[in-house]
Structure 1
Amino acid sequence: MRSSCVLLAALLALAAYYVYIPLPRAVSDPWKLMLLDATFRSAQQMVGGPTQLESNLIHSLGLSHHLIALNFIIVSFGKKSARSSLTVKVTDTEFDGVEVRVFEGSPRPNEQLRRSVVYIHGGGWALASAKIEISYYDQLCTAMAEELNAVIVSIEYRLVPQVYFPEQIYDVIRATRYFLQPEVLDKYKVDPSRVGVSGDSAGGNLAAALGQQHPHEGELHSFTYIAGLKNKLKLQALIYPVLQALDFNTPSYQQNVNTPILPRHVMVKYWVDYFRGNYDFVQAMIVNNHTSLDVERAAALRARLNWTTLLPSSIRKNYKPVMQTTGDARIVQEIPQLLDAASSPLIADQEVLQDLPKTYILTCEHDVLRDDGIMYAKRLESAGVNVTLDHFEDGFHGCMIFTSWPTNFSVGIRTRDSYIKWLDQNL
């Protein structure tokens, strides 16, 4: 009996040691966040990484890639048994070959046409889903459709490793262009002058890239499906978006280097996965060796996200820029997409930014991506765009989708309510 108690105490101590991580006092529901983070870390450690693709777990699940296995676990963890609303009609269909889930809220009295949001889910371009019955995005889009009396089109873009950059952007463009056709808008009774685009995290990246598409801009922008998008989106709403891969040492990256749910090394790996790059480059990228002063074009583009001028002093604090004199030019040579504005909307030309619609950007203090959003808001304001920056001091990356038990966070509910309120007032 005594030995059993000792063993139990030891196991509890090990569990507490694994779960506990130091967190800032201001973060929302810290112990709940520790448990959520431990769950994600456990899932990531179970599937391993690219050097462990032959693991028994992956093969036992009949899967072939660590990201597919990780997504399987995340989807299984977040499955929901039933829809949360009887007033929202949900339909799975395809828009120009791209799978979508359409959420239709009930029209308001005397309202013939409804407003609409094209929503793009997050997940590092590799995780989560718009269609599978999981609570995170199903509940968010249901709430949007219900509270806005709107039509929400949630895009099931293809994920890494099925496809890589820029295929995810192409999927989003194709589906959005199809939806904006007059006959399709008429089918769903949508007002063509009241359509917005939105997304969180990597979905915010794709939403920002979508908003920047113009026929005269670069190789990606000559894609044949772009025609007809310009000036058809009333607004864009970006939720803790990932907007650049040039500087992984902004103040928020330095401050939140190991903060849940998205530590810096994990975000860098998502970028490498998105570009089908070499994991051997990760450590060099973490210290900005890929955009050192001796890397052609990198220094000029880094000037567009010069956080010493784009961020207020309250954000900059005492952090110092990390600009290497010499680095590893092989990284950009092998992964030129790192310097592409289609992947990093924050570095787009000023003339592209000035054509963007009214913009909402939500940022969280305890998030490596915080400064991406704040810098983008500053650049958009300088280009004459109407911008609302909505910052949450107790927020963490991903918080807006965690609103129901057991992953319900007070800041998740507040961010969602603030976001939907802005849409209601501006769309």
Structure 2
Amino acid sequence: MRSSCVLLTALVALAAYYIYIPLPSSVSDPWKLMLLDATFRSAQQVSNLIHYLGLSHHLLALNFIIVSFGKKSAWSSAQVKVTDTDFDGVEVRVFEGPPKPEEPLKRSVVYIHGGGWALASAKIRYYDELCTAMAEELNAVIVSIEYRLVPTVYFPAQIHDVVRATKYFLQPEVLHKYSVDPGRIGISGDSAGGNLAAALGQQFNQDDNLKNKLRVQALIYPVLQALDFNTPSYQQNMNTPILPRYVMVKYWVDYFKGNYDFVQAMIVNNHTSLDVEEAAALRARLNWTSLLPASITKNYKPVVQTTGNARIVQEIPQLLDARSAPLIAEQEVLRHLPKTYILTCEHDVLRDDGIMYAKRLESAARSKVTTDQA
């Protein structure tokens, strides 16, 4: 009996040690977050073991675990009709809000899920419930895109999928089929989905062949740049669950099918050091000391290496591609974007990406007004 109590005590202590992570006092429900983080870390460790044993790629294994615990079949409620179909060969889940006689044409949102370009699905419970709520509360048609993931495909295949599906949806006959008002269509996404939504918004507003344009974009804690992994939010939240800096940098490397040997060098900004010519022209656009408010920058210093590893950008030039990093797009591109809503979270490595993008969009809008007046 005594030995059982000792063993139980030891197991409880080990579990507490595994679960507990120091968190800022302002985090609400800290134990809920710690339990979620511990669950995710456990799933990652299991998938890494599967990878090590040669049974499957670790991202495929991890996504199998995530989807298995959260997948939800399409079903229609009294208020929202849900259908799985495909748009030009890309799987989508369509949520149609309840018809209203006084509003025969509905607004619409194209939604792109997050997951580091490698995880999650439009068909898991979280996104299913989110899109159902949007369809019902907005009386809208929500198109949730099931784009292909790493390691089945790599950049820019994910962008091609969301572009292809959205272009198909914007055809007049398709909008008519779903009773959608062509003048009230927006795009949204969270995290890596916010990245794809931002890239899609930039691409569509440069496409003169598109008759129907996106009217609004809502970016939810979007991933927007890979030049600087030492912005204040990256420094402040480098070890914060569920997305510590190391994991985010690995997602970037996975997205480009890069070499994991580069991860540690990228964490200290060796890929965009002063001797890397490819990054020089872009660095001015990502000067966070001018793009972020003093309340954020006052306790942090930029990390700019004098010498670094030019081989990283030479082998992974996609790091400096505006399609993968919408924050570094030319100002002329930003001038023509639709109205934008950006949501960021305080304890998140991605916080400053969203704030800087908002600042650049504001600057581009002012520039456009000045140009139009002149």
Kindly provide the amino acid, as one letter, of the partner of residue 262 in structure 1.
L
RMSD: 1.8
Count the aligned residue pairs: 367
Deviation per CA, 1:66-117, whole angstroms, max 9, x where unpaired? 1000001111222458869431101111111111000000123311100000
Q: Contact 1:47–1:66 (CA<8 Å) still a contact in 2?
A: yes
Cα distance in 1 for partners of 2:109, 2:236 equals 33
Q: Contact 2:205–2:213 (CA<8 Å) still a contact in 1?
A: no
1:291 pairs, out of 272, 280, 283, with 272
Cα distance in 2 for partners of 1:145, 1:385 equals 34
TM-score normalised according to structure 1 size: 0.83
Cα distance in 1 for partners of 2:76, 2:27 equals 28
Structure 2: gaps (5+ residues): 368-374
Moved more, 329-338 or 71-80: 71-80
2:105 equivalent in structure 1: 113
2:248 pairs, out of 258, 264, 267, with 267
Give percent identity, aligned residues only. Answer: 83
Q: CA deviation at 1:229?
A: 3.9
2:59 equivalent in structure 1: 67
1:126 aligns with 2:118: yes
Q: CA deviation at 1:12?
A: 0.2
Deviation per CA, 1:217-241, whole angstroms, max 9, x where unpaired? xxxxxxxxx5644760010000000
1:208 equivalent in structure 2: 198
2:295 equivalent in structure 1: 314
- What secondary structure is seen at the aligned counterpart in 1 of 2:344? strand
2:137 equivalent in structure 1: 147
Q: Contact 2:205–2:337 (CA<8 Å) still a contact in 1?
A: no
- What secondary structure is seen at the aligned counterpart in 1 of 2:152? coil
Kindly provide the amino acid, as one letter, of the partner of residue 11 in structure 2.
L
Q: Contact 1:262–1:368 (CA<8 Å) still a contact in 2?
A: yes
Structure 1: gaps (5+ residues): 217-225, 387-427
1:181 aligns with 2:179: no
Kindly provide the amino acid, as one letter, of the partner of residue 255 in structure 1.
Q
2:78 equivalent in structure 1: 86
Q: CA deviation at 1:314?
A: 1.0
Q: CA deviation at 1:54?
A: 4.0
2:161 equivalent in structure 1: 171
Matches within 5 A, 1:8-407: 8-48=8-48, 53-55=51-53, 59=55, 64-80=56-72, 85-131=77-123, 134-213=124-203, 228-229=209-210, 232-384=213-365
Cα distance in 1 for partners of 2:107, 2:19 equals 44
Cα distance in 1 for partners of 2:323, 2:27 equals 32
Kindly provide the amino acid, as one letter, of the partner of residue 107 in structure 1.
P
CA distance 1:116–1:81, change in 2 (3 Å): closer
Kindly provide the amino acid, as one letter, of the partner of residue 213 in structure 1.
Q
Cα distance in 2 for partners of 1:213, 1:267 equals 24
- What secondary structure is seen at the aligned counterpart in 2 of 1:123? coil
1:406 equivalent in structure 2: none
Q: Contact 1:357–1:385 (CA<8 Å) still a contact in 2?
A: no
Cα distance in 2 for partners of 1:88, 1:214 equals 29
CA distance 1:385–1:278, change in 2 (3 Å): farther
Cα distance in 2 for partners of 1:82, 1:124 equals 24
Cα distance in 1 for partners of 2:110, 2:163 equals 11
Deviating 4+ runs (over 3 angstroms): 79-86, 226-231
Cα distance in 2 for partners of 1:239, 1:230 equals 27
Kindly provide the amino acid, as one letter, of the partner of residue 294 in structure 2.
S
Kindly provide the amino acid, as one letter, of the partner of residue 247 in structure 1.
D
Cα distance in 2 for partners of 1:208, 1:166 equals 14
Q: Contact 1:47–1:55 (CA<8 Å) still a contact in 2?
A: no
Kindly provide the amino acid, as one letter, of the partner of residue 186 in structure 2.
G
1:396 equivalent in structure 2: none
Q: CA deviation at 1:381?
A: 0.4
Cα distance in 1 for partners of 2:330, 2:348 equals 26
